[in-house]
């Protein structure tokens, strides 16, 4: 038998070289690498695998036709369909209503996203607006889903977003063609504007409160492109609320209205002076910084150059806007403070305020219902719902013909909480009107009219008469109802009259001015520190101090961020509470 020498190869191995690996005493592993022992070989193998895996791993991207995209921004949805990526869109929000094909896609929520639906759609990525969808972006990333954010804003930002979306969806050619088409239209509008005069333009997007387009918005860019001057360019924000006085003082050549609340617009005091220079445009097209807005830029050009008529005079602004606003603020403050003083006396509770019986929450429910449903008559619905909440509390609290204080407080809290929950539900259902609802809930006098003054003035007179009629009885009831009865005070009748009057005054004030907190709580305590606890002096002082406080608060709300306006409820909270604490410490 032939004896193999070390390193020799047999004839069978030559005939079938793949039968076993080539062996070598110096390289027994058959890989041409000198073996260092089993442990070292294992470590070397692991090191090689790690080195191979250290290369940058590119994310696996599906073919263009297989991309699955969810859009949570209506403006981005419009761009996706415009560049031919509509078939890749598998999910949208309820606000994504254009083009009509977008409504056939699976809806993943609105402001609050449905996480389960979003995960089940298995998108390759979600497109979102970096500014408007900031909180949603963080939520989606926590789900492990890729999110691509795009910046909204002016015309340049829209065109940049078109290019970025085209790149991300691998439709660069379609995006470039769309951008070129838009640029040609923009150049044409710019050339036409160069030969026209420069009108002063006001762009209104909300009637109550009055919201206008400020600097940095896509509308501001478009007005300048069309050869106009945005009179609201001095606002501190890109969108802001202004009062009627500021509105008319600007005296624009053209007012472009981009909302559907024409009823409230036509009832606005002094509006006849601007009626002939007002132009209505489609809010669904121009309210969004989308590609559709740029495709219709020529319509905005025609609106900007709509002509000029004479505006309201200074005396008109003073008599029709400034004076009713000051009077309405004084009356509202007097009613809230007076009602608060009455309630604190009846309930013998220093934390009682005009809202304790749920009338304010009921009025808020009626107002929000009117806004969300679009049926109008907001003030009427607010007042009637506040009255209904009051009578519901009185019926539920009544025990054997009497109104126990504890029952009133508990039932008022329950009815108020129920109304607040319904307000939140309507706010969620009608999130398109969320800005208007929230601003109204914080209170203000930006749209004050003489009709409002004439409505609150009788309520103030009635409240004052009740105060003077029952001030002695309140002094007796401050010692306790049983003690007051022994002194000959008809406690139940007094309680009924005071609660009805105070709650009706509160409902009327909230219906016209919104929910203005802290006035009815702080002013009676401040008056008590100044004039003492005797209701014969306390209640009149509360009326006067409440009116003065709210007039000063409204003045500050109107001028602090001029020409924009703050909700007056913010001012009463920020300055009323520290002032009250200051008086308390001095005492």
Q: What pTM does this model have?
A: 0.71
Q: What is the 3-state secondary structure (H, E, C) of 62-95?
A: CCHHHCCEEECCHHHHHHHHHCCCHHHEEEECCC
Please name each of the domains of the chain with its CATH number.
Answer: 64-184 (3.40.50.1980), 196-312 (3.40.50.1980), 315-586 (1.10.3470.10)
Report the percentage of the chain scoring pLDDT > 70. 86
CA distance 105 to 86: 10
**Whether residue 16 has pLDDT greater than 60:** no
Read off the pLDDT band of 586 (50, 70, 90).
low
DSSP 119: H
Average pLDDT value for the chain: 83
pLDDT at 41 over 70: no
What is the Cβ-side half-sphere exposure of residue 48, based on CA atoms within 13 angstroms?
Answer: 6
DSSP letters spanning 496-547:
HHHHHHHHHHHHHHHHHH----SHHHHHHHHHHHHH-S-HHHHHHHHHHHHH
Confidence band (pLDDT; 50, 70, 90) for 267? confident
Q: Average pLDDT, stretch 82-100?
A: 92
Q: Are 579 and 556 within 8 A, CB to CB?
A: no
| Cβ neighbours of residue 305 closer than 8 Å, sequence gap 6 or more | 196, 199, 226, 227, 228, 254
pLDDT at 21: 41
- The answer for 197, left when phi > 0, alpha when psi is -120 to 50, beta otherwise, is beta
User: Which tens digit of pLDDT belongs to each residue from 211-254?
Assistant: 899 998 899 999 999 999 999 999 988 888 898 888 888 889 89
430-473 confidence digits (pLDDT tens): 666 777 888 888 888 988 888 889 999 998 999 889 888 888 88
* Both structure tokens of 527: 């008056």
> Which carries the bigger pLDDT value, residue 575 or residue 412?
412
Q: pLDDT tens across 273-287, in order?
A: 777 888 888 888 888
């Amino acid at each position: 038998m032939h004896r193999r020498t070390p390193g020799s190869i047999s004839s069978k191995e030559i005939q079938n070289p793949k039968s076993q690996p080539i062996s070598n005493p110096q390289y027994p592993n058959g890989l041409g690498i000198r073996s260092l022992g089993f442990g070292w070989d294992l470590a070397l193998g692991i090191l090689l695998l790690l080195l191979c895996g250290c290369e940058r791993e590119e994310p696996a991207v599906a073919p263009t036709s297989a991309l699955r995209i969810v859009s949570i921004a209506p403006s981005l949805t419009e761009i996706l369909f415009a560049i031919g990526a509509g078939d890749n869109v598998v999910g949208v929000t309820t606000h994504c209503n254009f083009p009509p094909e977008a409504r056939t896609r699976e809806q993943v929520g609105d402001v609050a996203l449905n996480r389960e639906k979003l995960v089940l759609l298995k998108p390759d990525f979600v497109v979102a607006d970096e500014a408007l969808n900031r909180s949603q972006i963080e939520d989606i990333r926590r789900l492990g889903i890729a999110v691509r954010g795009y910046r909204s804003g002016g015309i340049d930002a829209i065109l940049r977003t078109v290019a970025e979306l085209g790149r991300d969806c691998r439709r660069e050619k379609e995006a470039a063609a769309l951008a070129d088409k838009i640029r040609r239209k923009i150049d044409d509008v710019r050339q036409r504007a160069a030969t026209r005069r420069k009108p002063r333009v006001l762009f209104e997007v909300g009637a109550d409160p009055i919201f206008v387009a400020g600097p940095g918005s896509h509308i501001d860019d478009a007005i300048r492109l069309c050869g106009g001057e945005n009179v609201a360019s001095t606002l501190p924000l890109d969108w802001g609320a202004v009062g009627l006085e500021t509105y008319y003082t600007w005296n624009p050549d053209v007012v472009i209205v981009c909302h559907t609340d024409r009823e409230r617009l036509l009832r606005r005091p002094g509006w006849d002076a601007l009626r002939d220079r007002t132009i209505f445009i489609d809010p669904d097209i121009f309210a969004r910084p989308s590609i559709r807005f740029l495709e219709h830029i020529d319509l905005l050009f025609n609106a900007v150059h709509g002509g000029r008529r004479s505006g309201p005079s200074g005396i008109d602004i003073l008599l029709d806007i400034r004076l009713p606003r000051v009077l309405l603020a004084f009356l509202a403050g007097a009613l809230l403070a007076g009602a608060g003083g009455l309630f604190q006396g009846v309930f013998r509770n220093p934390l009682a305020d005009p809202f304790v019986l749920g009338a304010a929450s009921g009025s808020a429910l009626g107002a929000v219902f009117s806004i969300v449903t679009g049926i109008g008559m907001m003030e009427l619905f607010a007042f009637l719902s506040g009255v209904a909440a009051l009578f519901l509390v009185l019926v539920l609290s009544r025990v054997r013909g009497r109104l126990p204080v504890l029952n009133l407080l508990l039932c008022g809290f329950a009815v108020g909480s129920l109304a607040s929950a319904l307000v939140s539900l309507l706010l969620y259902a009608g999130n398109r009107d969320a800005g208007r609802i929230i601003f109204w809930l914080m209170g203000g006098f930006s749209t004050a009219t003489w009709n409002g003054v004439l409505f609150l003035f009788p309520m103030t007179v009635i409240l004052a008469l009740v105060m003077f009629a029952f001030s002695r009885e309140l002094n007796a009831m401050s010692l306790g109802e049983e003690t007051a009865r022994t002194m000959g005070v008809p406690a139940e009748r007094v309680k009924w009259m005071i609660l009805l009057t105070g709650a009706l005054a509160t409902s009327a004030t909230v219906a016209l001015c919104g929910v203005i907190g802290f006035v009815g709580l702080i002013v009676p305590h401040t008056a008590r520190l100044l004039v003492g606890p005797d209701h014969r002096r306390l209640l009149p002082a509360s009326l006067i101090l409440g009116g003065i406080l709210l007039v000063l608060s409204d003045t500050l709300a109107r001028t602090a961020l001029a020409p924009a306006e703050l909700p007056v409820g913010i001012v009463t909270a920020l300055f009323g509470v520290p002032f009250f604490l200051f008086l308390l410490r001095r005492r």
